[in-house]
Homo-oligomer: A and B are copies of this chain.
């Protein structure tokens, strides 16, 4: 967490309370929150924070690769603080998102695309969207 301060400093960014709390919320969040959700959380401890600050902060983090931004099917942005390679699990309606880490899979994909190039493109990154239905009972909305 103090890593963040260092990273911010190393990039000439100021370590404001707002930024620290936004980052903390992302770290402690199991699901990937929307900007609004981050706002609600940060507001609890910093009632005067504004939504635009949340957006600005998140965007700054994304630009500096401290945070990932993901879009669900409804086009609303969600953010997560883990930049290590991992994939995302979506519910069928695109609502819930969880992280999915899988080194074996990473290796598999890496092998595959090392052999099989895609003509005219250089692959930078591969992201999986794993669309799932949860097995627990769920109200048939």
> Which A positions have Cβ atoms within 8 angstroms of B?
69, 71-73, 75-77, 89, 92, 100, 102, 104-105, 108, 112, 116, 118, 120-136
CA distance A136 to B119 in the complex (A): 11
Measured between alpha carbons, how far is A136 from B122 in the docked complex, in Å?
10
Q: What is the oligomeric copy number?
A: 2
Given contacts A76-B75, A118-B89, A126 and B127 within 8 Å (CB-CB): no
A121 surroundings in chain B (CB, below 8 A): 89, 130, 132-135
Closest to A102 in B: B116
Q: How distant is the Cα of A111 from the Cα of B121 in the complex, in angstroms? A: 26
Q: In the assembled complex, which residues on chain B have CB atoms less than 8 Å from the CB atom of A112? A: 105, 108
**B130–A122 CB distance below 8 A:** no
B120→A131 contact, CB < 8 A? no
Task: Chain B residues near A69: list those with CB within 8 A.
Answer: 73
Q: In chain B, what residue has the closest Cβ to A104?
A: B116
State A136–B121 Cα separation when bound (angstroms). Answer: 8
